[in-house]
Chain A
Amino acid sequence: MRPLSRPLLVALIAALALLAVFPQFVERYYVQLATKMMVMAIFALSLDLLVGYTRLVSLGHAAFFGLAGYALAILQRDLGFVSLWTTLPLTVGFTALVALLLGALAIRTSGIYFIMVTLAIAQMLYYFANDTKWLGGSDGMFLDAKPTAEIFGLQLFDLKNRVTFYYFALGALVTSFLLGRMVLASLFGRVIDAIRCNEPRTRALGFTTWRYKLAMFAIAGALAGLAGYVGAAQDGIVNPAFLSWHQSGQALVIVILGGMGTLYGPVVGAFALIVLEDVAAGLTEHWLLFIGLFVIAVVLFLPRGIASLPLAGCVGRLRKRGGGAAPLPERRAAEAGDD
């Protein structure tokens, strides 16, 4: 991955500063709307790690978003965990573990099969939540209280306050972004880069590529879990719609419209789409029609999305620990196993 250019860095910092003071100037309705955007932003960002950086087109990413919501609800209702310090790591850890298991099944396939299988897996979880009394069926589950944030009996902050919750979500978003950058900048991230550019060659270099792909699947799942955690805690509600394939589809749209393979693109995309939704839904009941047309127009006229990572940009060098450098050709990976 490349370092951020200076103007971009300035823009990101300015945006962050703007978000930091935002709740002081607007009504509570917009505070909760902006919180919703950040949830979606984290979720889309996590999908970008798969779609943009690893070329694993998942149409079932909502599985992990919803799973985390349900995990939080169950931790609270059935297991009596109320603290942020326990529920957050347990939820995210659990989501990562499930992502590892389901990923192991999905990674066996590739290309179009991978799309269908991820979709079917998410749908399986959807129906499981929808049909299980224990999980509240189609009505979903309700959290009685917000996670508490205490240290030695002292309340650090109160998530019941919607402005405090906003800052909590903002913190989660910034953390996800930095975490994503860190992962991609590591040696692991460079192998992922190589896999995207040319998987057979990376394999030939001695990397067990499926392990890297699976690890990325789990990391993306964990971040989606973080988004689901914040999303479920916000209104205290989690229902099967969290797991629905429209949730996955919307994230995919956001990633591609915002610019895949950038991490900040999906954040911008999420903000744009939710503002658009709020405004357009006010103008016409049939605003989805225009979103649909817009999506099609982007595919037809902006063949690479708005600002996606170029497929032909694979010029980095891949080093195996202590080994020599191996240049990678600027060539798209063969879509193995599609036909």
Chain B
Amino acid sequence: MTKSFPTTRRRFLSAAARAAGAGAAVSLLPAPFVLAQPAKVKVGILLPYTGTYASLGHNITDAMIMAIEEAGGTLGGRPVEYVKVDSEADPAKAANNTNKLIFGEKVDFLTGPVHSGVAMAMVKIAREEGTITIVSNAGANSVTRQMCAPNVFRTSFTNWQNCFPMGPEMMKRGHKKTVSITWNYAAGQEMISAFKEGYVKAGGQVVKEILLPFPNIEFQAHLTEIAGLKPDAVFTFFSGGGAVKFMKDYHASGLRKSIPLFAPGFLTDGTLEAAGEAGEGIVTTLHYAESLDTPLNKRFTAAFKQKTKRAADVFAVQGYDTGQLLIHAMKAVKGDTKAKKEIITAMAAAKLDSPRGTMTFSKSHNPVQDIYLREVRKRDNVVIGVAHKALADPGTGCGMA
């Protein structure tokens, strides 16, 4: 049932005609009466399937489909059609891709993306058009702050959530002076400023904030600079290939011996095999860890492994919960996608049993969840505690909060 772009024009037109016909049929009869062949629910997925973030896109997609298949493969009794568009994690193409899904494919639900810049563009258009949207990864604060909207939900995290608790933790360990280093883009900046907020409140001092142009991974000059500054600790955010490169370069520069490294969990998720020795001992905070010892998490990781032959990770969990949220809401309205108000009410009140633990939604439609403290030991993110219990994003600037 999976269709992916690019669509040819002819196919596109005929699909549009079919959709128009189906729409007419549905509007003539109330949904429950359409027994013979209920119209498909169209779920639009805007995720990267190529490039640095490709593996994230695949894990989110597969876990989301897995959740819906576990529930019988239908949403509110209607079969599902997944329309995938490769976002290429490119903000420049985001508006176009979103337009394709909303206007071209006329999807009932919109999910994705990984990249915050893509999310901003996607949410901006979704707000104007009222399409019910579930952000399944991008952590840009503003999605559930200034830009929050009744029809926009998030099953992942805000950049603030994962970094704020690290500040007090580092002070607890006696690191009073820190240098931060990250990419100069919204996600990086938000993570650093959230960390700083918690750290300064606890009495710490960020002596220098180093920003690299995204996605530059030539760290040498900056590592030299850190060595000169001699801080107590370094707080960093990188992900994917950049994370591996940073851990390796940090190791090679000899800094790891004297200056410990702290980060949001994205640094060490899915990167530890590649980083090898260079990852050991790094302490991170995240809303999930594969090693979480709960029955649901064990069942989830096993099922995901069996289905995809890949290890589950935080992204798969977010995809899984996106699927769960869709199931929950569509069950509440018995598959009637026209009942937008009721769908939104059901989503906002949802209490999901997630592999990460129990999760509810704040007034701004962002998860309320535990943030775990993890340490890399033998190439594994071992949970060493809970950095903050049931943490909600403040939702500053959101009219609904």
Contacts and interface: CB of A to CB of B under 8 A. Distances in A.
Interface of A: 27-29, 32, 127, 130-131, 133, 136-140, 142, 160, 235-237, 239-241, 244, 278-279, 281-285
B6 A138 contact: no
Interface of B: 5-9, 11-12, 16, 90-92, 94-95, 99-100, 103-104, 116-117, 120-121, 124-125, 128, 140, 147, 184-186, 189, 211, 213-214
B8 to A, nearest CB: 4
Given A29-B99, A139-B185, A282-B11, 16 more contacts: A28-B103, A29-B104, A32-B103, A130-B214, A133-B184, A133-B189, A136-B186, A137-B184, A139-B91, A140-B117, A235-B125, A244-B92, A282-B5, A282-B6, A282-B9, A282-B12
A137 B124 CA distance: 17
B185 A137 contact: yes
A138 B185 contact: yes
Contacts of B9: 278-279, 282
Identify the 3 closest CB pairs spanning chains A and B, nearest first.
A241-B92, A139-B117, A29-B103
Contacts of B7: 282
30 contacts: A29-B99, A29-B104, A127-B213, A130-B213, A130-B214, A131-B211, A138-B214, A139-B120, A139-B186, A140-B117, A142-B121, A142-B124, A142-B147, A160-B128, A235-B99, A235-B121, A236-B124, A237-B95, A239-B117, A240-B92, A241-B90, A241-B91, A244-B92, A281-B6, A282-B5, A282-B8, A282-B9, A282-B12, A283-B8, A285-B6
A237 B213 contact: no
A27 B103 contact: yes
A32 B186 contact: no
A140 B186 CA distance: 9
Main secondary structure, interface of B, reads helix
Contacts of A278: 9
Nearest to B213: A131
A241 B90 CA distance: 10
Given A29-B99, A32-B99, A281-B6, A140 B124 contact: no
Nearest to B117: A139
Contacts of B213: 127, 130-131, 138
Most buried by B among A136, A138, A142, A283: A138
A285 B8 CA distance: 11
B364 to A, nearest CB: 17
Nearest to B13: A27
Nearest to B214: A138
Given A28-B103, A29-B100, A241-B92, A138 B117 contact: yes
Given A237-B124, A282-B6, A282-B7, A139 B103 contact: no
A139 B116 contact: yes
Contacts of A130: 184, 213-214
Contacts of B12: 282
B62 to A, nearest CB: 21
A143 to B, nearest CB: 9
Nearest to B116: A139
Contacts of A127: 213
